[in-house]
Structure 1
């Protein structure tokens, strides 16, 4: 009996090999074939079959033996199912060769080379940082290619995600694992450019598809008695001061675009000194209750844009150093909105009564491009060829 098996094994030929991965386990595959005698007749018996996987240096990386029943010569091996002898994932990383031994015969020659199938197994377990830009075809990442929560940070090489790698609308919120997209994963070119900001900053658009971090204005509201205060370049808003106090301004060069209102709140005969140069005036003072001064930095100097030197506003028109003219709007009551039968009326124009309790000034014309540029140092208008006296737009 053994002699017949040896003779049969020596004369066996494997034809029609077919290898396919199983979806039941992460790293198993099937090997199917047909076993024939030397005269072409199929083998119908049970044999011990050993399959080995070799690397290109003939090192055996993994092997498994199974008793296999031939059915009219056909056989089907499910390899790697045993938890005691799993196929290591490293087997998938390069082209490999399979060697087969039937019964007590020596291993058949030549070995069968397998390439694409085991590489498919490698795709089932992506190692960290394996997905690089060169691995992704343009627009290859579509929504149906991503399982919910499948995209985690470790799977991407730094700067691998460029704009043309992702199909439009492919990446939705449920496709991304929490904290998957970090700054380092975004491409520095051809995509979304972003550097790390600092605590308390907000991401602002430059209007050209790029972004920058900006400090959030730190609103201040200080009410003190006989206390000096030194403001920083990060601060803006209103400072309420009482007593003989000094408010020291930050350098205008570090405070571009910052606006401050300093107001004296008490009725005593004290003086609030603003330490700095405003509209060319050194250390302006507020001496009456509720007197205030509003200033803004254009990056090179502090400019006065409003003031009230006493409790009574008696000027109908006022102008500042930029030539901006303001009209006094007196307190009063009016009806805001439009009648329900007015032609072209919108649904948000419901009428209601509004009372203005404090007087204020409003500029008599639109802010011009020149006025904006004098304060902010830039002109964002889309019609800058019109001239500096034309109205400014593209701001809100």
Structure 2
């Protein structure tokens, strides 16, 4: 398979505390020679000062002072590296149960998720939690790295037992592609280079898997959705009567001459022109930022959506979302929040908590109606006006929302539309 050298792979790492996420990423960076000389010198000096023998690979990712002092990763740390075959963005997320929201944030744009399992402990509750979140966010590829194989004598039986454990519970989840790799991040076995201690493993090392993963675009190419961000009325020569509608195409393709509908008004027209920057084009597609003009003079403003006449989203005031509560303060019954959906902003309330999910056991709790930090629940949201929405499974961009506290302006929740 031909790999585009400029193709970008976003992947997230997750695992329980001390499963070796930071060491794994450090090994990837170190063995792939993706570390600047001054960075390496600084880490070597820090390692020596701490009394470590050799280089402490975990320090390549635990860059925050608080993280180093506590010896844990407490936030989402983004790292970038490049190999001759591909460019990468890593979202290193915490393993602690109280940081579920961080994993949701780090995984929301990922093409792949690396889930680490300590070979000595096997599948634990946090493994199930991370797999559930990856499934909820519909990450297409999950790579299960069974780490610390050196501490179980590189046992094939231990590896196979954990593989079976994972497959038993993951069969309940929506996951497209799951791969398993036995590794030792500390020693480098099967990370960048093949392990000589596990010749029973016939697969590729982790880096090779990452370099050759097929990245299918998560952009919906069928349903045309264009959320208007602003109306352009330039007052200069040649643009006296120009009225353009600018924004970023969320999904689908638009062509000059297409019959369109403006939502929520329902007015119809045809596309007169499309500009991408200073260039006039005959067609545009997601995720291009463009300005469109229409054949008819229609009242359009920020938050409206231009769609194809024969392919329209649902319009609802009331709908269900799978919501992750992100804020330190719990949700307040009947409180008004600002709902942000594409470029549309309006007031909304959480009308009802349908059920909460125990993401360690996958059980639903229909009785507990309180939402606290890191809770994931199916809730019914009621907006002040109709929202132009698609289910998240069909369209990530128009199927997701956030809620903002009107008083503090903090983002308190992120949700995926289910109905």
Structure 2 length-normalised TM: 0.20
Q: Which is higher, the Rg of structure 1 or of structure 2?
A: 1
**Taking CA–CA contacts closer than 8 Å with sequence separation of 6 or more, which of the two structures ends up with the larger relative contact order?**
2
Instruction: Tell me which protein shows more helix as a share of its residues.
Output: 2
Structure 1 length-normalised TM: 0.21
